[in-house]
Structure 1
Amino acid sequence: MKKSSQTNFRAYTTLIPVMAGVFFAADDQTVVVTILPQIMSDLRVEVSELHRAAWTVTGYLLGYVAVMPIMGRLSDILGRRTVYTIAMAVFIIGSTGTALTGSFEWLYETPVSRFSSIAPIILAIPEITSTIEWVVSTRILQAVGAGALVPVSIAMVSDLFKANQRGVPLGIAGAAAEAGAVIGPLWGGVVTRFLDWQWVFWLNLPAAAAVLLGIYLMFPKTVRIQVPIDYLGSVFIALGLCLLTMGFSESDNPGKWMYLYLGTGTAMFAAYVVRALSISNPIVPIALFRNIAFAAANLVHILYGAGLIITMVTIPLMANTILQGSPLDGGLMLGRLTVVIPAGAVVGGFICKNYDLRIPSILGLILCSISLFIMSGWNQTITDPWMTIPLVTAGFGFGLLIAPITLAAVNSTNEAMKGAASGIISTSRFIGMTFGIAALAAWGAGRFQDLLAGIELPLASTGDTAQQIAGKSAQFQSDITNAGVNLFSDFYFAGAVVCLIAVLPCIPMKVQRPNS
C-alpha cells in the first residue's frame, strides 16, 4: 500500500470519533421534538403554558449558536483535543442534569431533622430539579457543549487532510450533522417507547465517553497558537448573538422587548468591532473578511440558512393545514427532503475533490430554486409523485452546498486561523436561519391578513334557504383554503428567490490563498 494511501486511511479512521461527536450534537438538537409532550406531562406543564416548554428548543438554539464563533478560535489557541474534551464534558454534564430531572423525590422522605442547618437546601433539590426551568437550564448547558463541537470538528478535518483533500471529509461531516438532526426525533420516539424520557439523555453518556476515548487514542495533538484569549470580546459576541436571536424570535409580535433585544444585541456587536480594531488578537478576527472568497462563502451560507428554514417551516405547515394531514404526515413529508441532504453533502464533497467548488454550489442552488418554484405551484390537490420529486431534489440541492461552502471558508485562511474560520462559517448558517424564520413570521402574518381582506363571512341573510346558507359556507371555506394556498405559494416562491440570489455571491467564492 502506498504511503499516501496509508495516510488517508489513517485520517479517515481518525475521522470516525470526530463525526460521531457531530452526529450526537445534532441528534440532541432535535430529539426533544418527540419527547416534549412527555416532559410537559411529567412536569405538569399545561398546554396553555407551551411557551415555557418551548424554551427547551429555543434555549438549546441560543446556547448552540452563541459559542460557535468563539470555540473555533479557542481551538486554535488551546488545541483541538483540549477544546473538544471541554465541550464534550460540558455536554455530558448538561445531559446528566437533564437525565436527573425528577430523580430526587426520595429526599422528601429523608429525616432532615438531623441536618437542620441544611434542611432547606436538601428539600429545595427535588423541587428545583422537577421543573421545566431545570430542563431548560440543563438543555442550554448541553447546547453550549454541542455547539462547540461543530466548529472544532470542522477544524479537526482541516488538520487531518490537506487543502486539496478536504472536500469529501467535509461532506461527510455535513452528512453526519444532517443525519443526526434527521434521526433525533425518531430516536426520541424509539427510546420513549420502551423507557422513560430521561433515558434519552442517560444514553448520551456512554456514547460521549466512547467518542472522547476515540479522540484521545486517535487524534494527534495540534500546534497551539501562542496568543492571549480575548475574554471580553467572547462575551460581547455570545451576548450579541443571544440577544439578536431573541429579538428576531419576537418579530411576529413587535413590541418593546423585540426592539430592546435587537438594540442591545446590535450594541454588543458594535462594542465588539470597536474592541477588535483596538487589539492585535480578537477572538473573531475581522481581518478574515478581507478575503473575498471567505466573505462570499459566509454570505452564501447566510442565504442558504434562510432558504432552508423557510422551506423546512413551510412544508409541515402546509401538510397540517391545506392538506389536512396529521403532525406525523407533516413530519413524513418534510422527511422526504431532509433524508436526502446527507447524500447530497457527500456527493458535493466528491465533486469538490476534482472540480471547482463553485460547480456544486451553483448547481445545488439552482436545483433548490427550481424545486421551490415547482412547489410554489402546489395546491390542496397535490399528490405523488409530483409531491415527492421536488422535495427530494430540493433536499439533494441543499446537501450539495454543505461541503463547498465550508471548504471555501476554511481553505481561504491560513493555518493559524482554521479554527476561527470554522467557527464563523458554522455560525453564518444559523444567522441566516434566524433571519429567515423572523422574516417569515413578520411578513407571513401581514400577507395572510391581506389575503383574508376580501373574504366575506358566511353570514345568513333574511330569507336565505338552507341550500344558500350551505353554499355560502362552502364558498367561505374555499376562499380560506385558497388564501392558505396562496400564502404557502408565496413562501415557497420567496425561498426560491433567496436561493437564486445566493448564486451571485457564489461567483467570487473561488479559493484565494491568504498572504500569511
Structure 2
Amino acid sequence: MSAGTIRLGTPQGRWLLTAMILGSGMAFLDGSVVGLALPAMNADLDAGAAGVQWIVNAYTLTLAALILVGGSLGDRLGRRKVFVTGVVWFAASSLLCALAPTVEVLITARGLQGIGAALLTPGSLSIISASFAPQDRGPAIGAWSGLAGVTTAIGPLVGGWLVDTTGWRGIFWINLPLAVIVVWIAVRHVPETTGDQGKIDYGGAGLTALSLAALTYGLVEKSWTWGLTGAVLMVVFVIHQRLTPHALVPLSLFTDRVFTAANICTFAIYGALGAALFLLVQQLQYVSGFSPLVAGLATVPLTITMVLFASKAGALGSRVGPRWPMTLGPLIAAAGLLLMLRIGADASFWTDVLPASAVFGAGITILVAPLTTAVLAAAPVTQTGVASGINNAVARTASLLAVAAVPPIAGISGRDFADPAVFDPGFRTGMLICAGMLAIASAFAAALIHGPKVSPAAVQTD
C-alpha cells in the first residue's frame, strides 16, 4: 500500500501508528525520566551541580540545535530512513549512557542521544501526515497525541520504579528492546515518503549549535567570556539567516507581532517549566526524602491534566481567541509554583505536593493549545510547518538555558549542592524566579496577543 492511502483501521495503519508512538515515546520519556535519576547519578558518579545540569542540558542542547535540521533531512532523504536512523542512533547512545563509567562519558552520551532524538522526533508526525489517507490523518494524529500523552504520563512511574529497583542505568537499558521493536515495525510496515527537496541550511545549524553550547557553558560555569561568545555567535546566526536563500529560520515570520509575541511567551513559559521540574524532582528527594518513584508521582498530575483537558482548552482558545487563555494560564501556573514553596523537609505528598502540582498543571493545560494556535494562526498557510518547528525549537532552547541559568542564580552550585541546607533555599529562590517568568509571559500575552481566532486554514494544515 502506497503512502497517502493507508487507512487507520487496517493492520498496516495500526502497525505504522504503533511504531511512531513507541519511537517518539522513547524521546519524550527520556526527558522526564532522567530528572528523577539525577540524585542517584550524582551519588554514583560524583557529578556535582554543574555535572547534574550538563546531564540534562547535553541532551536538550543537541536536540534544540538540530531538530529543525532533522525535519529537513527527513523531507530530503526519506522520512522513514531518517526516522529509523534516529531510533538506531538513540538506542546506541542509550547503551553508552547505561555503560558510562564517569559523568563525562555520560554527558557525552546524552549529547549523542539528543542527536538521535532530533532525527526521529520530527519524523514521527510527518510520517503520519504523509502516509495516511486524508480522511484518516486527523484521527491518526489525535491517536498519536493521546497515546503519546499516556506514555509520558506513566513514564515517571516506570522511571522511578526502575531507579528504585535496578538503579539509574535501568532507564537507559529499557530503550534497547523498544528500539528493536520500532525498527522492525518501521522496516516492514512504514512506507518511504519524501517532501521538500530544497537545500538544507547546515551553516545555520552549525551556528545554532555553537551559540547554544557557548551560552549554556557560560551560564553553567559562570563564565562571562563563554556567555559573550555565545551571544556574538547568536548575532552572527541572525545575520546569516538574513543573507542565506535557504534560511533555517525565515526571519520574515517575526515581522508578525503575534508570532513574535507568542514565541516570547513560549520562551518564558517553557523556561519556567523546564527549570521548575528540574528543581522539583530533586527537592523532593534531597530535602523531603521521597523515593524516586514518589518523586515521579509529583509530575503525574501535570501530564494527566494535559491528556484529559488539552483538547478542551484548545477548543476554548479557538472560540475566544488565544489572548485570555495565554494571559490567565501562566498566572495559574505561577500560583502552583508559589504553592510549591511549602515543599520542605517535612512535606506531605497529599497536602503539599499534589495540590501544588495540580494547580501548576491546570495553568499549563489552559495555555498550551492556545499558544500553538496563536503561532500557527500568525504564520502564512504555506509556512505553518516551519512556524511549528521554530516554536518547538524555541521551547527546547528556553528549557536548556533556564536549566543552565536558574540553579546557579538561585545559589545551587558546588559539590555540596545536594546538602538540604544548600538546596532548600535555592529551590525556593528558583521557584520564585520561575513564577516571575510566567508572570512576564502573561503580561506579554495580555499586551500583544490580539486579533481573531485561529484561521481554518491554519488548523487544517496543522
1:429 is displaced (CA, Å) by 1.2
1:211 is matched with 182
1:153 is matched with 124
In the aligned structure 1, how far is the partner of 2:138 from the partner of 2:316? 9
1:319-350 CA distances to partner (integer Å, 9 max, x unpaired)? 578xx621439x74674454333442453235
1:99-131 CA distances to partner (integer Å, 9 max, x unpaired)? 4x2xxxxxxxxxxxxxxxxxxxxxxxxxxx744
Question: Does structure 2 retain, via aligned residues, the 8 Å contact 1:244–1:265?
Answer: yes
SS, match of residue 318 in structure 2? coil
In the aligned structure 2, how far is the partner of 1:201 from the partner of 1:65? 21
Question: Does structure 2 retain, via aligned residues, the 8 Å contact 1:76–1:225?
Answer: yes
CA RMSD of aligned residues (A): 4.5
Q: Please state if 1:23 is matched with 2:33.
A: no
1:363 is matched with 325
1:341 is matched with 303
2:54 is matched with 55
Of 434, 439, 446 in structure 2, the residue corresponding to residue 497 of structure 1 is 439
In the aligned structure 2, how far is the partner of 1:12 from the partner of 1:401? 32
Q: Count the aligned residue pairs.
A: 437
1:502 is displaced (CA, Å) by 5.0
2:419 is matched with none
2:291 is matched with 328
In the aligned structure 1, how far is the partner of 2:333 from the partner of 2:142? 22
1:67 is displaced (CA, Å) by 1.4
Which residue identity does 1:137 align to in structure 2?
A: T
More off after superposition, 399-408 vs 413-422: 413-422
1:266 is displaced (CA, Å) by 2.2
Of 235, 238, 249 in structure 1, the residue corresponding to residue 209 of structure 2 is 238
1:509 is displaced (CA, Å) by 8.0
Which residue identity does 2:359 align to in structure 1?
A: T
1:507 is matched with 450
1:291-332 CA distances to partner (integer Å, 9 max, x unpaired)? 5554344233212213323543564576578xx621439x74
Which residue identity does 1:136 align to in structure 2?
A: I
1:203-234 CA distances to partner (integer Å, 9 max, x unpaired)? 32221132234344554543421222222222
More off after superposition, 218-227 vs 84-93: 218-227
In the aligned structure 1, how far is the partner of 2:426 from the partner of 2:36? 27
In the aligned structure 1, how far is the partner of 2:177 from the partner of 2:57? 26
Q: Please state if 1:396 is matched with 2:339.
A: no
In the aligned structure 2, how far is the partner of 1:38 from the partner of 1:318? 13
Question: Does structure 1 retain, via aligned residues, the 8 Å contact 2:164–2:291?
Answer: no
Question: Does structure 1 retain, via aligned residues, the 8 Å contact 2:156–2:300?
Answer: no
Question: Does structure 2 retain, via aligned residues, the 8 Å contact 1:174–1:402?
Answer: no
Which residue identity does 2:88 align to in structure 1?
A: A
Q: Which structure has the larger Rg over C-alpha atoms?
A: 1
Is there any run of 5+ residues in structure 1 with no aligned partner, and where?
Answer: 1-5, 102-128, 447-479
| Correspondences of 1:233-382 after superposition (within 5 Å) | 233-250=204-221, 254=222, 258-313=223-278, 315=280, 325-328=288-291, 332=294, 335-345=297-307, 347-352=309-314, 356=318, 362-363=324-325, 366-370=328-332, 372-373=334-335, 376=338, 379=342
In the aligned structure 1, how far is the partner of 2:313 from the partner of 2:382? 27
In the aligned structure 2, how far is the partner of 1:402 from the partner of 1:178? 14
1:445 is displaced (CA, Å) by 4.5
Q: TM-score, normalised by structure 2?
A: 0.75
In the aligned structure 2, how far is the partner of 1:365 from the partner of 1:373? 13
Is there any run of 5+ residues in structure 2 with no aligned partner, and where?
Answer: 1-5, 413-421
Question: Does structure 1 retain, via aligned residues, the 8 Å contact 2:330–2:439?
Answer: no
In the aligned structure 2, how far is the partner of 1:438 from the partner of 1:264? 16
> Using a 3 Å threshold, how does the CA distance of structure 1 residues 403 and 52 change in structure 2: closer, same or farther?
same
Question: Does structure 1 retain, via aligned residues, the 8 Å contact 2:411–2:426?
Answer: no
2:415 is matched with none
2:195 is matched with 224
In the aligned structure 1, how far is the partner of 2:241 from the partner of 2:406? 33
In the aligned structure 2, how far is the partner of 1:354 from the partner of 1:223? 35
In the aligned structure 1, how far is the partner of 2:399 from the partner of 2:82? 26
In the aligned structure 1, how far is the partner of 2:84 from the partner of 2:387? 20
In the aligned structure 1, how far is the partner of 2:318 from the partner of 2:159? 40
In the aligned structure 2, how far is the partner of 1:211 from the partner of 1:325? 39
Which residue identity does 1:348 align to in structure 2?
A: A
More off after superposition, 260-269 vs 501-510: 501-510
More off after superposition, 374-383 vs 233-242: 374-383
> Using a 3 Å threshold, how does the CA distance of structure 1 residues 193 and 431 change in structure 2: closer, same or farther?
closer
Question: Does structure 1 retain, via aligned residues, the 8 Å contact 2:86–2:120?
Answer: yes
1:421-472 CA distances to partner (integer Å, 9 max, x unpaired)? 34322111123324544564465449xxxxxxxxxxxxxxxxxxxxxxxxxx
1:110 is matched with none
Which residue identity does 2:199 align to in structure 1?
A: P
Question: Does structure 2 retain, via aligned residues, the 8 Å contact 1:59–1:136?
Answer: yes
